[in-house]
């Protein structure tokens, strides 16, 4: 029996993570599949797509999963599902990711190509740092936070759990972003963002609900 590795989510995010995990496991003798509860096909990019129930029941010496779904609430639910089934979540990191000094990052982080984490940073569970994003010095980031591609998160920023930072957003040094807030793509965040709101634009302003 071999160790069984899964990329949970066979959509856009998962198909970007699979080649990184394949490379990470290149010298290991393992089975590597997608896990998806609503699969659009039997396989994707040369890997079978299994339901979670199949992944949890096929014979294996060990079972590990990378949670590759961008939605934070879904990611937390999948994390709990995996933990209840004795499946460890694993981190996946592209070969050219730069991590400097004293960076503590929780289990299950997915770090895409060209991500940089500088020094003295704390990040919680299942962080997604997408292509070309950076996190500067002394930032504190909660659990299940998602950075879309190209997020520029400057020093001393605090970000609450479940926040989503859109592609190309720039966050000014020292800003706090509340839990479950959404920062729109390209936003320039110059003031603190309360929990749960969506901000857009330059300078970023709260988007009023219509």
**Interface residues toward ligand UDP, by CB under 6 A:** 9-14, 36-38, 69-70, 74
Residue 165 tokens read as 């930072």
Toward ligand UDP, which CB reaches closer, 118 or 130?
130
Residue of this chain nearest to ligand UDP (CB atom): 11
In the block, tokens 């940073």 appear at 121
| Percentages of the chain per state (helix, strand, coil), in multiples of 5 | 15, 30, 55
Minimum CB distance to ligand UDP smaller for 156 or for 161: 161
Residue with Cβ nearer ligand UDP (11 or 24): 11
Q: Name the nearest CA neighbour of 163 among 133, 124, 137.
A: 124
User: What is the nearest approach in angstroms of ligand UDP to the Cβ of residue 71?
Assistant: 6
Complex with ligand UDP: residue 126 or 157, whichever CB lies closer: 126
Cβ of residue 39: shortest distance to ligand UDP, in angstroms? 7
- The answer to whether 138 touches 156, Cβ cutoff 8 Å, is yes
DSSP per-residue string spanning 30-90: -EEEEE-SS-SSSEETTEEEE-HHHHHHS--SEEEEEE--S-HHHHHHHHHHHHHTTPEE-
| Residues 123, 146: Cα–Cα separation, whole Å | 11
CB of 45 to ligand UDP, least distance (A): 14
Q: How far is the CB of 69 from ligand UDP (least distance, A)?
A: 4
Tell me how far, at minimum, the Cβ of 74 lies from ligand UDP, in Å.
5
- Known active-site residue 137: yes
Considering only CA atoms, which of 97, 112, 99 is closest in space to residue 147? 112
Helix (H, G, I), strand (E, B) or coil at 141: strand
Closest to ligand UDP by CB, 32 or 175: 32
DSSP label of 188: E
- Residues involved in catalysis: 137
């Amino acid at each position: 029996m071999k160790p069984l590795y899964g990329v949970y989510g066979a959509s856009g995010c998962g198909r970007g993570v699979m080649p990184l995990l394949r490379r990470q496991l290149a010298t290991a003798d393992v089975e590597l599949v997608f896990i998806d509860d609503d699969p659009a096909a039997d396989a994707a990019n040369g890997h079978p797509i299994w339901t979670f129930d199949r992944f949890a029941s096929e014979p294996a010496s060990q079972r590990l999963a990378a949670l590759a779904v961008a939605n934070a609430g879904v990611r937390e639910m999948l994390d709990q599902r995996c933990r209840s089934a004795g499946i460890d979540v694993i981190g996946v990191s592209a070969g050219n990711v730069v991590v400097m000094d004293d960076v503590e990052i929780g289990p299950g982080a997915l770090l895409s190509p060209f991500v940089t984490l500088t020094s003295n940073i704390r990040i919680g569970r299942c962080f997604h740092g997408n292509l070309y994003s950076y996190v500067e010095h002394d930032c504190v980031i909660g659990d299940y936070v998602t950075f879309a591609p190209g997020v520029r998160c400057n020093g001393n920023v605090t970000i609450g759990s479940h926040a989503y930072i859109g592609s190309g957003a720039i966050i000014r040094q020292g800003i706090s972003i509340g839990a479950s807030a959404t920062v729109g793509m390209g936003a320039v965040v110059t003031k603190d963002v309360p929990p749960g709101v969506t901000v857009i634009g330059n300078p970023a302003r709260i988007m009023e609900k219509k």
